[in-house]
Amino acid sequence: MSISPTERRSLWWGVRNDDPDADRPTEPLPAQAETVVVGAGLVGLSTAVELARSGRPPVVIEARRAGAGTSGHSSAKVSLLQGSRLQRLHRHAGVETTAAYVAANRAGQGWLTELLERRGTPFERRLAVTYATSTKGAEQVAEERSVARLVGLAVEDVGGADLPFPVRDAIGLPDQVQVDPLTVIDALLAELTSLGGTVIENVRVTGTSLTRPWTVTTTAGDIRAENVVLATQAPILDRGLEFARMRALRSYVLAFAVDDLASVPRSMSLSLDEPTRSLRTASTASGHFLLVGGNGHEVGHGGSTVDRVREIEDWARSSFPVGPATWSWAAQDYHLTTQVPHIGALPGTGGSLFVATGMDKWGMAMAGAAAQLITGDITGTPPEYAGPLRSSSVSLSDVGETATFVAGVGAQWVGRRAAQLAPGDADEPPAEGEGRIEGNPANPVAVSTVDGRTCRVSASCTHLGGVVQWNDVERSWDCPLHGSRFRADGSLIEGPATTGLRSREES
Ligand SMILES: Cc1cc2nc3c(=O)[nH]c(=O)nc-3n(C[C@H](O)[C@H](O)[C@H](O)COP(=O)(O)OP(=O)(O)OC[C@H]3O[C@@H](n4cnc5c(N)ncnc54)[C@H](O)[C@@H]3O)c2cc1C
Ligand code: FES
């Protein structure tokens, strides 16, 4: 299956005919600010708005365009019913933390809908559904029902909901929200600038000093700040040992044009079967769409990504009256082995260098909560749910999962360096759309051909040296360690790396 570059934009960017990497004029970097927020996704902009409301308008620095990261590629269900999230939290962190997580999401969802209503940004209320078609999935639905009710989330039994195939079990939560995430970004930008905040796009932060006041180094010069908020998904600095317990998870979303919305499910559904399936509708200026997502995997692991996209398309076309997908895209989010998002100050930074990571594909409502948590820390007025959300200790299973992951990462680091080299550095360049690793284990070279151009770049990720893997559907080099991604020419797309892969063209 070949997917043209145009089709590979998210529906949200696509219907605007806009590009998350287009340059746009930006303001000069000021010499100092009380707070610098790094990253203009939902988390960074929500935090910036909340800071501005407290009388501390920050400077936001974004490497690409606002919404260029996962936020502008989200399925954008702002829901408290989140698949198997509550049972996983309950198992790892206990009932009090799970209840605090629900409280944080409720507060974050309210924070966001209040802003959207006030700004006149449209959104839709929908029944959220978690369902299963398999016996194993049904057991998980039952557990999610019981944990949800234990922590006061009033889920209902909804039979087969409005799904057109047999369902073994399903729970629902009414009045959840679906939205176009870029309209949320627009609303946040408008609110922030009206309160005196500044957003500087197309400038990448490359590091900070070791102590406060922070000197933040960027591609446009330095800026000094009393507080820094790293709202970059994976933090670009590792001062809290985040990377040892973090997995980058990538998944796929396809949008199918629909003439009559009555022909597809109206609810926002998520299956607990393997592979998972996520459904929602979207009404845009270019018509109605059914969004189908799923087939997640760890970035840089799991083989051909073309097959994953093809499988979602086949499933959607056999389950619903839709033709070929109009838009197809992928995005990633970070899972922490502790299950609980890490939102707060890093240790040893005097409570002034913050991260917000580990949203685990449920950051839409948590963004508002992250805004309240970080602003509350800076102003000395944290929300009530802050204590229990942060008090969860690391369980034995977390330690086991982290150890297994670190061991697996180590094995791949060593093994791939040795084993994945193309035999004999084949003379022929890779075929169109393909990539391979050549050279020797100490100095591997990533060679690919895209749009007729063959590029040779270092295969060692500029973050911490992982050996990148070819992503055949997105035609990118993806790092299996912490999810940094690079274009065929080595330029950086996303992730904790702050520079691109070095060119290895032989002159
Ligand atoms: C396929 C998919 C579907 C999802 N669907 C849902 C859903 O239905 N509901 C839900 O609640 N959640 C969903 N999520 C999760 C949700 O979209 C994310 O949790 C949320 O968007 C994360 O927001 P963020 O601001 O942390 O990250 P981002 O939006 O990625 O923002 C981080 C920003 O930081 C910038 N940045 C990075 N490094 C630097 C640097 N060095 N200097 C300057 N800027 C930098 C990036 O360019 C980016 O714009 C989904 C996730 C995926 C992957
Ligand atoms: S992203 Fe960390 S080593 Fe590549």
- DSSP, residue by residue, 203-263: --EEEE-SSSSEEEEETTEEEEEEEEEE-SSS-SS-SS-GGGGEEEEEEEEEEEEES-GGG
Smallest-distance ligand from the CA of 206: 1
Tell me 502's DSSP state: P
Identify which of 463, 464, 461, 491 has the alpha carbon closest to the alpha carbon of residue 478.
Answer: 461
Atom 31 in ligand 1: residue holding the nearest Cα: 41
Higher-confidence position of 40 and 393: 40
Which atom of ligand 1 lies nearest, measured to the CA of 249? 53
Q: Which fold has domain 6-73+182-244+339-393?
A: FAD/NAD(P)-binding domain (3.50.50)
Mean pLDDT of 213-229: 97
Best residue among 484, 493, 494, 499 to mutate for probing ligand 2's pocket (most ligand atoms within 8 Å of CB) is: 484
Smallest-distance ligand from the CA of 112: 1
Both tokens assigned to 418:
């040795």
Low-confidence winner among 345-354, 414-423, 470-479 (lowest mean pLDDT): 414-423
Burial of residue 30 (number of CB atoms within 10 Å: 0-12, 13-18, 19+): middle
**Is a pLDDT exceeding 60 seen at residue 407?**
no
Which atom of ligand 2 lies nearest, measured to the CA of 248? 1
* Residues near ligand 2 (Cβ within 6 A): 461, 463-466, 479, 481-484, 495-497
**CB atoms near residue 131 (< 10 Å):** 27
Distance, CA of 504 to CA of 227 (rounded, Å): 39
Under the banding of pLDDT at 50, 70 and 90, the label for residue 304 is: confident
Mean pLDDT of 80-95: 97
Q: Cα–Cα–Cα angle for 479, 480, 486, nearest 5°?
A: 15
Ligand 1 center from residue 233 Cα (angstroms): 6
Beta bridge partners of 48: none
What's residue 222's pLDDT? Answer: 97
Best residue among 46, 361, 486 to mutate for probing ligand 1's pocket (most ligand atoms within 8 Å of CB) is: 361
**Is a pLDDT exceeding 80 seen at residue 418?**
no
Under the banding of pLDDT at 50, 70 and 90, the label for residue 2 is: very low
Atom 3 in ligand 2: residue holding the nearest Cα: 464
Biggest alpha carbon–alpha carbon distance for the chain: 66
Percent of all residues in the chain with a pLDDT value above 70, rounded to a whole number: 91
Tell me if residue 106 falls in helix, strand or coil.
Answer: helix
Under the banding of pLDDT at 50, 70 and 90, the label for residue 83 is: very high
Top-confidence range, 103-117, 418-432, 493-507: 103-117
Both tokens assigned to 112:
């966001």
Q: Which residue has the tokens 């408008």?
A: 190
Tell me what the pLDDT averaged over the chain comes to: 92
What's residue 120's pLDDT? Answer: 98
* Residues near ligand 1 (Cβ within 6 A): 38-44, 61-64, 68-71, 74-77, 204-205, 231-233, 236, 251, 253, 293, 331-333, 359, 361-365, 498
**Is a pLDDT exceeding 50 seen at residue 336?**
yes
Smallest-distance ligand from the CA of 359: 1
Low-confidence winner among 368-377, 388-397, 433-442 (lowest mean pLDDT): 388-397
Ligand 2 center from residue 455 Cα (angstroms): 21
Distance, CA of 283 to CA of 265 (rounded, Å): 13
Mean pLDDT of 64-82: 98
Smallest-distance ligand from the CA of 236: 1
Which atom of ligand 1 lies nearest, measured to the CA of 252? 1
CA distances from 460 to 212, 249, 326, 498 (A): 32, 20, 35, 14
Low-confidence winner among 128-137, 242-251, 366-375 (lowest mean pLDDT): 242-251
Ligand 2 center from residue 501 Cα (angstroms): 11
Ligand 1 center from residue 39 Cα (angstroms): 9
Atom 1 in ligand 2: residue holding the nearest Cα: 482
Both tokens assigned to 347:
């240790």
Under the banding of pLDDT at 50, 70 and 90, the label for residue 399 is: low
Strands 221-230 and 32-38: parallel
Both tokens assigned to 259:
């003439």
Ligand 1 center from residue 70 Cα (angstroms): 3
Q: Where are the domains of the chain?
A: 6-73+182-244+339-393, 123-177+245-335, 395-507
Higher-confidence position of 420 and 322: 322
Beta bridge partners of 435: 448
What CATH number does domain 395-507 carry, 1.10.645.10, 2.102.10.10, 2.30.30.30, 3.40.630.30?
Answer: 2.102.10.10
What's residue 507's pLDDT? Answer: 41
Strands 327-336 and 469-471: unpaired
Q: Which fold has domain 123-177+245-335?
A: D-Amino Acid Oxidase; Chain A, domain 2 (3.30.9)
Distance, CA of 348 to CA of 152 (rounded, Å): 36
What's residue 237's pLDDT? Answer: 84
Smallest-distance ligand from the CA of 231: 1
Ligand 1 center from residue 407 Cα (angstroms): 27
What digits encode the pLDDT tens for the residues 102-121?
999 999 999 999 999 999 99
Percent of all residues in the chain with a pLDDT value above 90, rounded to a whole number: 85
Residue pair 292/254 in contact by the 8 Å Cβ criterion: yes
What's residue 178's pLDDT? Answer: 98
Smallest-distance ligand from the CA of 412: 2
Best residue among 217, 305, 333 to mutate for probing ligand 1's pocket (most ligand atoms within 8 Å of CB) is: 333
Atom 15 in ligand 1: residue holding the nearest Cα: 361
What's residue 403's pLDDT? Answer: 54
Backbone φ and ψ of 133, nearest 5°: -110, -10
Ligand 1 center from residue 76 Cα (angstroms): 11
Distance, CA of 178 to CA of 282 (rounded, Å): 8
